[in-house]
Every structure is written in C-alpha cells, then in structure tokens.
Amino acid sequence: GSIIDGTILAQIGEHDMRIPIQYALFYPNRTISNFPRLELTKIGQLTFKKVNFDKFPCIKLAYRALELGGTMPAVLNGANEIAVNAFLNSKISFSVIPIIIQNTMKEHKPKYNPNINDILDADYWAREKALNFCINLKKQ
C-alpha cells in the first residue's frame, strides 16, 4: 500500500531473520544491533515483479492469513513449520507444503484480539493438525 501522498516506504535489509525478530521483541522501539548491514551500492539495482500466485501459492496463503487476522497468522506459521520440516525429512513432496498449510487454515476458526496464550494455543493446534495431515498423506 501507499501513503496518502502516493509515496511508498520500504523496509529493506539483509536476509537475516534476527532483524524482524528483534523488531517484534522491542517494538515500537528500535535497538542497536551487530547484524549485517545492507549495502545498496553493492546490490546495484532492485527489481520488483508482480507475484505469480500459481507459482508461489504459499504467498497467497500468507496474504489470506493476514486478511483473516486474529490467530490465523499463527496457524499459518505453525502449519508451515511442520510442512517444511516434513519436506526436509523427505516425508512429503515440496508441492504438498501449501496443501498442508491450506487444509490446516481451512479447519481453523480464528480468534480475534487474541492474547499471547491464544496465539500459542493456535500455533500448537496448527502444528498438531498439520502433522496429522502429513501422516495421513503418507498412508495414502
């Protein structure tokens, strides 16, 4: 989305999950870190393309989780963790990852304005549900 004057702000940095985790932990404050710094002059240029949701179905699922809100992003994350782990351990094929996530999300009724326990419960529920989907797929 854009700001009211039509401009867009971008948060860009090195590929390092510690950065968004630190941001989430200390929000709304920013803290000093020793994480790698992005050097735009070394990149040279940035290229933006429209997302191909057929090629990257998990991105569409992430947008859906954000739209639904509440505990749904935690469910997406928990299901994704299980599905990716199953793939990395050769239990499912790569193409099954979005199916596991989508099926898990379909069975979840999001709780809105969740507290931390609601979020942790949703994550746990999603991991159990996704694991069951993985096990049932393997039996077929």
Other beta carbons less than 10 A from residue 139's beta carbon: 5
The ranges assigned to domains in the chain are: 57-139
Phi-psi sector, 6: left (phi>0), alpha (psi -120 to 50), beta: left
For residues 68 and 73, give the distance between their C-alpha atoms in angstroms, rounded to a whole number. Answer: 8
The letter for the amino acid at 36 is P
pLDDT mean values, one per 10 residues, the chain (140 residues): 86 88 91 91 92 98 98 98 97 96 99 97 99 85
What pLDDT is attached to residue 41? 93
Give pLDDT, residue 56. 97
| CATH 2.60.40.10 corresponds to the domain 57-139 | no
Residue tagged 């790569």 (tokens): 94
Q: Give the pLDDT confidence score for residue 113 in this predicted structure.
A: 96
How far is the C-alpha of 45 from the C-alpha of 120, rounded, in Å?
40
Alpha-carbon distance 104 to 122, whole Å?
11
Quickly tell me which residue has 């985790």 as its tokens.
21
Q: How many CB atoms lie within 10 A of CB 116?
A: 7
State how far Cα 99 lies from the chain centre. 15
